[in-house]
Amino acid sequence: MAGKVYYARVGKTDTIPSVSSKLRTLIEKSAVLSPIKKGDFTAIKLHFGEEGNTGHIKHEWVKEAAKCVGMITDNSFLADSNVIYKASRRTNAIDHLKIASEHGFRFSSIGVPVLIADGLRGRNFIEVPVNGKHFKKIKMASDFANADSMLVLTHVTGHILTGVGGALKNIAMGCSSRRGKYEQHCGTVPEINPEHCVACGQCVAVCPAGCLKISGKKISIDEKSCLGCGECAVVCKTRAIEIRWSETLENLQEKMVEYAKGVAGAFGSRIGYINFLIRVTKDCDCLAKDDPDIVNDLGILASNDPVAIDKASIDLILAAAKKDVFAEGHPETDWSKQLKYASSLGLGNMKYELEEVPE
């Protein structure tokens, strides 16, 4: 059965208020909020944008979506999880909340609270079964796992590792704890450079396997006991411990999809998805820069099928560009792998019916 996807057109001449109006109409005409029930604790999942990034979803549009959710339940909240790369200010909840506030995502402007779903240092998770090829369980950020329903707001972009970043990537990476993100990106023992070690002991304190030891003021690792979680690399400030990014891009996409399946499975059918094809850029919102658009603004899509909405989003972008801008931007990556694997796992349907919502 084809997935149903609703589409509201947006162009360069649309203002922020006019996009908000179109978003509200799209939400009203689609069934995207049907999974949400009265009294639900409902997570509104989005990316708050990196410092210096301007392509992320505008807080005014998120406010409109939050208003619509608020007509059903009083218990909604905006949420994302912490990231694993050290250059970001979003590696801990305090700095992450500051970035969110600077970009307009705060209670005073949106009307709902903002949470960082995996806690202060990104270590709060609940294991959720998935029984996939790569994972038997995923490490889902606790506040997402404890929610009753979720609305996923995604800014569709290109991505350096997955080719395309859509709804699937948003829930897979964005709803996992930091340890879950490491599981998706790598699965090997970290590189140890004892010459950089200052014997601070922080890595030993956070290692869940107890496989790190300081001897003679230098760090060593028991590779047989290592879980490959990457927590030691997170806390190391001297680059004595580094992750070996060894996964093939195809494996990374498969792992990402299994995480997406685990997240979707945790909610059952109680998730709605909205994709923004506005300010579509070569790279994702994690990059701290004002990236140029790779295609003109196209609109907003809504669906309860994450595979269908991502496939429809990509098709619209490629048709408008008259070429595969994602393959052009990242030729080493076959972005279709994630969609095919997700479809094979029953996460959604690559066939879809697109219904345009009149203004």
CATH classification code of 3-183+247-356: 3.40.50.11440
Q: Determine if the pTM surpasses 0.85.
A: yes
Question: Distance between CA 163 and CA 310 in Å, rounded?
Answer: 12
What does the pLDDT read at residue 333?
87
Taking a C-beta distance cutoff of 8 angstroms, is the pair 280, 56 a contact? no
290-341, pLDDT tens digit by residue? 788 999 999 999 999 999 999 999 999 999 999 999 999 988 889 999 999 9
Mean pLDDT confidence for 60-77: 98
* Main-chain phi, psi angles of 261, to 5 degrees: -65, -40
Q: What is the domain partition of the chain in residue ranges?
A: 3-183+247-356, 188-242
Task: Please give the residue that has the higher pLDDT: either 187 or 94.
Answer: 94
Cβ count within 10 A of residue 334: 16
Question: Distance between CA 283 and CA 273 in Å, rounded?
Answer: 21
Position 253 pLDDT exceeds 70: yes
- CATH label, 188-242, candidates 3.30.70.20, 3.40.50.2300, 3.40.50.720, 3.30.460.10: 3.30.70.20
3-class secondary structure, 221: strand
Taking a C-beta distance cutoff of 8 angstroms, is the pair 349, 306 a contact? no
Least confident of 99-113, 126-140, 209-223, 257-271: 209-223
